[in-house]
Amino acid sequence: MENKQEPTEILNAKLLQALVKGENKVFRKTFLNMHFYDQAQFYLALTDEQRHLLYHILDPHEVGDFFDTIEDDLPEMTELLAEMDPQYAAELLNSMFDDNAADILEHLPKEDVDHYLSLMDKADAIQLRKLLHYDTETAGGIMTTNFVSLRADLTVGQALAELKREADEAETIYYVYLVDADRYLVGVITLRDLIITDNHTKLAEVMTPNVITASVHDEQADVAQKIRDYDFIALPVVDDAQKLVGIITVDDVIEVIDDEAQSDYSGLAGVDVDDVSENPFKAASKRLPWLITLLFLGMSTATLINHYESLLSEASILAVFISLITGTAGNAGTQSLAVAVRRLALSNDDKPKLLRLIGSEILTGLVTGVVTGLTITLIVGIWKQNFVLGLTIGLAMTAAITVANLAGSLIPMLMDKLGFDPAVASGPFITTLSDLTSVLIYFSIAQIFLHAFLN
C-alpha cells in the first residue's frame, strides 16, 4: 500500500493540537518521525508558552538534533536559549555537532558563553573553546571535530568494528581518515573501499596516502573552492604541526557559498541584503551611510556640469543626452564589475595576468563602445537631422563606455591587492564614478565639435 505523506500544514496543525492538549505520546511519535529541518521550522513558529511545553516533552538531545539545522546567526537565538533552563541549554549545545554549537556560541554574549561552557563536561567545553579560538571565516572556524579517524596499522575488520562504535558521534563517515600514533594524517580511505576490502587487509595497504588537506588558517572561500574543485564530500583540516584536528563537510561549504554570495550581492548593491528587517528606521540607518557617501560623490558630477554651464547655454541640445551617456556608461561599468568580482572568486591559477586583463578589458570596452556609439550616432543623426551632433554623441558614448568598462574591472582588482573585499567596489559606487568620468568626456568632446554641429 502506498504511504502518502500528509501536507506539512495539516501535520503541523495536528502536532500543535497534541502539544497544547498535553498528548505527549502522540506528539513525540509524530514529531520525532519528522525530518530535523521540519522539526526546526515547527519549533520556530511556536509561541514562548508553546516552546516551554515542548521542552518538557523532548530531552535536550532531541532538541539539539533539530537545532543543528537552524541558522546560527538567527537574531532570536540568544532569547531562545535564555528561555530554557541553563543546564538544559548547555546539554542541548553539547549534543549538537561541535561546529554548529560553536557557531551559535560565537553570536552570544561572552558571559552567556562562559556560563553554558561551565555547565558542560570539561572535555567537551575545552573542545568548543578550541573552535571558538579560530577566526569564523577560516577553515578552523567552520570545521567540525565530530569525525572518525583510525590508526593506519589496523586491519579492515578492526576498522569496521571501530567505525560502528564511533559512527554515531561523527558528522559524516563517507571518508575515514588514517593517522599514526602522533595523530599525523597519513592517508584516507572511503567507506565503500572499507566494505569491499577483505577484513584481514591492513588499512595502510589500501589507503590513499596523498591526502588533500586544508590548514586551520585557510580562508573559508578557498576551502569551498577546493572542495568544489576536487568534488569532495568532506575535507580534512590540519594544524600548524600538520596534525589532523577536524574536517569540513559539504553542508558547511554550502553555507560558506551562501555567505560569500550574500557578501557579493551586498557589495554590488551597496546595502546589506541579508538585513530583511521590516523596521523602516533600522533599514534606513543601514542604507544611509552609502547613500550619503555617494551623494557627495554625485555632487562632484553636478559641480562638473555647472562648470560647463556656458557650453550648455550655447548648445542646450547637449543637455538632452547627459542622462543617456551617464546611464549607459554606468550600466557598462556595473557589468564589468560583476564579471571582475566573479573572476576574483576563481582560484589563483585561473586569474589572468594584469597586463593581459587590461588589454582584454580595453578591447571589450572598445567593441561595446563602438557598436553602441555607431547605433546612437545613427539614431541622433536621423532624429535631429544632424549627423555631426550624432557623431559627437557617438564618440562620447564610445569613450565613456571604454573608460567605465576598464574602471569596473580594475577597481575590484586594486581592492583585492590592498586586502579589501573586491565587492566593496559596489555597483552604486562604480555607477556614480562612471557618471563623473562620462560627463567630463562628453563635454570635452562636445567642445571640440561645438561649432561644427551648430552650423
In a domain, 180, yes or no: yes
Q: What is the pLDDT of residue 331?
A: 87
Shared domain for 177 and 124, answered yes or no, is no
Please give the full DSSP string across 108-122, using - where no structure is assigned.
S-HHHHHHHHHTS-H
Same domain for 154 and 124? no
In order along its 455 residues, the chain shows pLDDT tens digits of 445 556 778 888 999 999 999 999 999 999 999 999 999 999 999 999 999 999 999 999 999 999 999 987 777 888 999 999 999 999 999 999 988 999 899 989 999 999 999 999 888 899 899 899 898 889 998 898 888 899 999 999 999 999 998 888 788 888 999 999 888 999 999 999 999 999 999 999 999 998 999 999 999 888 988 988 898 989 999 999 889 999 998 888 888 777 766 665 555 555 555 555 556 777 677 677 767 877 887 888 888 888 888 888 888 889 999 999 999 998 888 888 777 777 766 645 445 566 777 788 788 889 999 999 999 999 999 998 999 999 999 999 999 999 998 888 888 777 777 766 665 556 677 778 888 899 999 999 999 988 777 76
369 within a domain of the structure (yes/no) = yes
Residue 42 lies in a domain: yes
Residue 421: the pLDDT is 63
Residue 200's alpha-carbon distances to 36, 176, 203, 204, 401, in angstroms, are 38, 17, 9, 12, 69
**Termini Cα distance of the chain:** 88
Domain CATH for 164: 3.10.580.10
pLDDT given at position 268: 55
Using a 10 angstrom Cβ sphere, with 0-12 exposed, 13-18 middle and 19 or more buried, the burial of residue 306 is exposed
Cell digits for 172? Answer: 559524516
Say if residue 302 is in the same domain as residue 435.
yes
> For residue 3, is it within any domain?
no
List Cβ neighbours of 189 (8 Å cut-off, separation of 6 or more). Answer: 159, 175, 176, 178, 203, 206, 207, 208
Of 108, 141, 174, at which residue does a domain stop?
141
Domain endpoint, select from 141, 164, 195: 141
In this prediction, residue 205 carries a pLDDT of 93
Domain that holds residue 160: 149-261
Residue 48 placed within a domain: yes
Q: What are residue 219's DSSP bridge partners?
A: 138
In the chain, how many domains are there?
A: 3
Q: What are phi and psi of 108, to 5 degrees?
A: -95, 155
CB 117 within 8 A of CB 128: yes
**Are 148 and 177 within 8 A, CB to CB?**
yes
Q: Are residues 184 and 285 in the same domain?
A: no
In this structure, the strands spanning 244-249 and 149-151 are: unpaired
User: Are 157 and 135 part of one and the same domain?
Assistant: no
249 and 158 in a common domain: yes
Structure confidence at residue 1 (pLDDT): 40
pLDDT at 2: 45
What is each CA distance from 300 to 292, 294, 396, in whole angstroms? 13, 10, 19
The pLDDT of residue 250 is: 87
Same domain, 128 and 108: yes
Boundary residue ending a domain (141, 176, 204): 141
Residue 450, pLDDT score = 84
User: Do 373 and 414 lie in a common domain?
Assistant: yes
Looking at the structure, tell me whether residues 298 and 444 fall in a common domain: yes
Note whether 165 and 133 are same-domain residues: no
283: CB partners within 8 A, 6+ apart: 275, 277
Q: Is residue 27 part of a domain?
A: yes
Residues 84 and 157 in one domain: no
Domain-located, residue 430: yes
238 shares its domain with 294: no
* pLDDT value of position 274: 55
Q: What pLDDT, on the 0 to 100 scale, is given for residue 25?
A: 94
Which CATH number belongs to the domain containing residue 104 in this structure?
A: 1.25.60.10
Q: Does 365 fall in a domain?
A: yes
